[in-house]
Amino acid sequence: MEVPLSPLALVARGLRLYPGRPAVLDDGLELSYRDFGQRLERLSGALLRRGVMQGDRVALLAPNTLEALECYTGVPLIGAVLVPLNTRLNPDEYRYILRHSASRLLLLDISCYARIAEVLADFPDLEVIIQRGEIAGFLSYDELLAKGPSLPFDAEAVAEDQVLSLNYTSGTTARPKGVRLTHRNAYINTVNMLLTMRLRPEDVHLHVAPMFHANGWGFVWATLAVGAANVPLPAVEAQDALRRMRRHGVTTLCAAPTVLTMLLGAAQEDPPPTGLHVAVAGAAPPAAVIRRVEDELGWTVHHFYGLTETTAFLTYNEPPEGIGDWPLHARAAFKARQGVDLPLAGEVRVVRPDLSDVAPDGQEMGEVVARGNVIMDGYYRDGEATRRALEGGWFHTGDLAVRHPDGFIEIRDRKKDMIISGGENIPSLEVEGALYRHVAVGQAAVVAAPDPHWGETPVAFVALRPGATASAQELIEHCRSLLTHYKVPSRIVFVKELPRTASGKIQKYLLRELAKTRDGPDSDA
């Protein structure tokens, strides 16, 4: 009586129940669920006819488009493994991932061709199919669908423990690792999104968070399960995002905090629609950003926490009863916590090195560990890394947090980002939170710099809000009014933008290198 737990079954539900509703709204294109389902069946049939078999790896290099959205269902529908590629990698990284994954076919958006063109010569046996355009010598995606026989949509043709996708980590400190996520992993995470975001057939979802980042946090399937409409956003450009929100009546979106900051800046001249529900993750959102989003834009923020290895999310900041009546600053401060375990995620703890739980006092820090239904199947072809990550029967996140008396966890830092000055721990997120409370600060990141006396000292990199002014000394004095003296940045480095990955995470390893070369309390990078 059991059927496989797969997000494909959720998509099948949407296709069956909502054939006439719009599945995709892409400016001039409106695609119904009936038409979308037929395209999925043609994609699967065409791949099968070209010899793609169960277990084969199919790479995808594309921004958020209709064609990319189709691949997250059409590829695994035949039991193949999707390998989503970050659109901002360098050629050597693409070369490594294609070789490590042994991908046999690449679905390539024409806008990304220049980024990977030099790599393709090293893979003469790799079949390349071009999406959204034509390049001489390659089959186009439209031709593929036109020639492909339809394969009836059978969500039960795969086993739930089969690998659905191979998602490579950012690889900022080492070679990228391939995270094996199963159909069961993806199903559980998607249902968690449905439970917490309460998606409805009437919803219109703007795909802002990159789909390649942990499979769009599960929203490549969640929206389709309930008959909601999908609006692709190929490039994170604030004005275009606001335009699509108004044109299509967007009601939900997912975004990293940095993208929310971009939207806040653009909204000052071009106000967006109100009432949106926004899933925020990818980095810890400062309370000041949450406050501004809910106050200035009239949106409701839903804060999630997790990693690629947890199929996206482990915890959710589940709002307590009556939080809508709280003062805005108190509500934002509470929502900045990472929250409690999601209903179906499993067990999430904050532990000491011996795996005993920290005191639930909001003070003692420990590492976040987890086990349960969303934990990866392991790293592809890397048994040693898998063993280290799952040591003691728990997945070790590398994030340091406290647990409050109410059970909510709050991330204080990454292990590698903790600053130790004169024997004192300085959580970089705490210092960044203080900086964000200054009205002129648009972006902030704090890293450790070597110090001959203290060992390390905090250095802040700051991008001011458009039109705002502030001196380094002013920001330092601002921090002194909010923080213990040893946590105050010794230097402020002003930048136009913080370096980030395509998923919005700050590349602190680059800032740490810059911090070693800057002198004085006020400098520019």
Co-location of 393 and 465 in the same domain = no
Which structural domain, as residue segments, surrounds residue 352?
346-413
Does residue 384 sit in the same domain as residue 441? no
| Per-residue model confidence as pLDDT tens digits over 71-99 | 999 999 999 999 999 998 889 999 999 99
Write down the pLDDT at residue 521: 45
445 lies in some domain: yes
Question: Could you tell me if residue 334 is inside a domain?
Answer: no
With respect to residue 126, please indicate whether it lies within any of the assigned structural domains.
no
CATH number of the domain at 389, please.
2.30.38.10
Say if residue 429 is in the same domain as residue 513: yes
CA 426 vs CA 303, 354, 388, 447: distances in Å: 24, 22, 26, 10
What is the torsion angle, in degrees rounded to the nearest 10, for the CA atoms of residue 107, residue 503, residue 121 and residue 60?
-10
Q: How is the beta sheet containing 491-494 ordered, strand by strand?
A: 441-451, 455-464, 491-494, 522-524
Q: DSSP class of residue 495?
A: -
Confidence of residue 484 (pLDDT cuts 50, 70, 90): confident
My answer on whether 402 and 460 are in the same domain is no
CATH of residue 513's domain is 3.30.300.30
Under DSSP, the state recorded for 272 is P
DSSP 289: H
Q: What is the pLDDT of residues 400-439, one digit of tens each?
A: 999 999 999 999 888 778 898 877 778 888 899 999 999 9
Nearest CA to 489 among 439, 442, 440, 433? 433
The answer to whether residue 515 sits within a structural domain is yes
Assess whether 454 and 505 both reside in one domain.
yes
pLDDT band at 525 (very low <50, low <70, confident <90, very high): very low
* Same domain? 393 vs 434: no
In a domain, 494, yes or no: yes
Q: Which of 413, 428, 460 is the last residue of a domain?
A: 413
- How does pLDDT run across 190-237, given as a tens digit for each residue? 999 999 999 999 999 999 999 999 999 999 999 999 999 999 999 989
What is the pLDDT, as a whole number, of residue 485?
87
Residue type, 176: P
For the segment 296-306, what is each residue's pLDDT rounded down to a tens digit?
999 999 999 99
User: Over the stretch 117-163, which tens digit does the pLDDT of each residue have?
Assistant: 999 999 999 999 999 999 999 999 999 999 889 999 999 999 999 99
- Percentage of the chain surpassing pLDDT 90? 82
Domain assignment of residue 254, yes or no: no
Q: 406 with 451, same domain?
A: no
* Residue at a domain's end among 363, 386, 413: 413
Residues 455, 393, single domain; the answer is no
Band (pLDDT 50/70/90 cuts) for residue 520 is very low
Tokens 């990550």 belong to 389
User: Of 413, 440, 455, which residue constitutes the final position of a domain?
Assistant: 413
- Domain total for the chain? 2
Tell me whether residue 98 is in a domain: no
Q: Is the pLDDT of residue 19 over 50?
A: yes
If asked whether residues 443 and 514 sit together in one domain, one would say: yes
Other Cβ atoms closer than 10 A to 254: 26
Sheet holding 277-280, edge to edge: 29-32, 22-26, 229-232, 204-207, 252-255, 277-280, 300-305, 315-316, 340-341
Look at residue 490 and tell me whether its pLDDT is greater than 70. Answer: yes
Mean pLDDT of the region 251-272: 91
Q: Positive or negative, the Cα torsion across 353, 359, 360, 364?
A: negative
Residues 403 and 479 in one domain: no
- Assigned domain for 487 exists: yes
Tokens linked to 40: 């999925």
- Burial (CB count <10 Å: 0-12, 13-18, 19+), residue 277: middle
